[in-house]
Amino acid sequence: MTTTNASPAANQMWGGRFAEGPDAIMQAINASIGFDQRLYAQDIAGSRAHAAMLAAQGIITPNDAEAIREGLLTVLSEIETGNFPFKVELEDIHMNVEARLKEIIGAPAGRLHTARSRNDQVAVDFRLWVRDQCDAAIAGLTALMRAFLAQAEAGADWVMPGFTHLQTAQPVTWGHHMMAYVEMFARDRSRFMDARARMNECPLGAAALAGTSFPIDRMATARALGFDRPTANSLDSVSDRDFALEFLAASSICAMHLSRFAEELVIWSSAQFRFVRLSDRWTTGSSIMPQKKNPDAAELLRAKIGRILGATVALFTVMKGLPLTYSKDMQEDKEQVFDAADTLMLGLAAMTGMVADMAANRESLAAAAASGFSTATDLADWLVRELGLPFREAHHVTGTLVAMAESQGCDLPDLTLAQMQSVHSGIRADVFEVLGIENSVRSRRSYGGTAPDQVRAQIARWKEHLG
């Protein structure tokens, strides 16, 4: 008779194939319960749907199905109240739940795993979790868009400088600038919506990789879990992590947009700009310089793109060389996605708070808009429109006038008509009507332009769309 020192608990997951339990280091690298316990709600939901389907198909008895259902509800309650005994030796959330279910209801628990594998089980758990995160991101982005809409509506006709290369380019309106971010975050919102729609197929029933010989009803479990349909290929079902990659890609683009506006807040709130004032809720002081009011929340948001983009690259790296179907490498998918999702939701909440609280300095914005020859393009357009000059000639005349004003330490509207006529004799006194910043922004009436009436039209469109 052969004996072994392995305890029954050490090899209960793998049955009779392994005589000895795992080495402590192997157990440490193999176990995922330290992080995948976050999937508990999805794991229990999937198990309940699976058990109900097994009973409906006559694969298990109604009594066993009822015992499983009640037992799973007890497990769910224990986890949610912090009374669940998670065990590292049981590896993951699936085996922890199943082992505890057996302690509660006994033999019927062993029937739960009929016609499924941990491969399709984790695939459905993770897909459900990521789908929930898409919903959370969509809600967070909707709130952020509403905060930008409120800012845009309040300052639809407030003039500020528009920049290229962070140099003053042309006057725009505060409302127009805020609406640029509404458009950006709307694209992010649509990306999460698209990703959610694409991932809404149920892998449960693919089993280990080849499907099952049991007469299961995959459409029933798909419907029970809120999916549109079951996945169509069992090999792809257990090996696909595109849904997580799409979520990370959408999160990375969204975080980049958050970072861009965070950068503007850092610049705008500086003493050199004074475009906005951030509330005390989102700033900190200095331990040595009492005058400081640091935009720390914006700076941290500017940095957090690194965590999300890093998670995206990490998961692409995990998946890029895997043959079909499941490989243990794929256990490394969840921590990256969990961290990225947490970081994104924190960033969306913080940015929504900052945008809602920030106060724009209308006077500073207008003063900056009037500097830096911001109406030079308006002058060139006037020369084309009123005098019939080719644009390149108008561009040259305007450049000469800008150089003249710069040499005299003044702006274009400060030049006299005689000085302008010394460069081009056809210039008339009504040229000064286009050199004011207010006239400049009002004239940009093309669809999507900065004119206040265009800005208000876009605000109304988005308010109606968001409801």
Among 7, 77, 270, 286, the active-site one is 286
Q: Is position 165 annotated as part of the catalytic site?
A: yes
State how far the Cα of 290 lies from the Cα of 286, in Å rounded to an integer.
6
**Cβ atoms within 10 Å, residue 205:** 25
DSSP code of 173?
A: E
Show Cβ contacts of residue 458 under 8 Å, excluding neighbours closer than 6 positions. 179, 182, 448
Measured over all CA atoms, what is the biggest interatomic distance in the chain, rounded to whole angstroms?
A: 114
Q: Is position 270 annotated as part of the catalytic site?
A: no
Q: Which residues make beta-bridge pairs with 161?
A: 171
Query: Contacts for 320-324 with beta carbons within 8 Å, 24 or more apart?
Result: 322/239, 324/209, 324/235, 324/236, 324/239
- The answer to whether the CB of 244 falls within 8 A of the CB of 130 is yes
The H or E element containing residue 198 is helix 174-199
The H or E element containing residue 230 is strand 229-230
State how far the Cα of 121 lies from the Cα of 92, in Å rounded to an integer.
11
Q: What share of the chain is helix, strand, coil (3-state, %, to 5)?
A: 65, 5, 30
Among 165, 213, 407, 425, the active-site one is 165
Q: Which of 9, 246, 31 is nearest to 126 (CA)?
A: 246
Question: Helices (H), strands (E): how many in the chain?
Answer: 20, 6
Q: Where does residue 274 fall: left (phi above 0), alpha (psi -120 to 50 degrees), or beta otherwise?
A: left
**Cβ atoms within 10 Å, residue 169:** 16
State how far the Cα of 337 lies from the Cα of 45, in Å rounded to an integer.
20
Residues tagged active-site: 165, 286
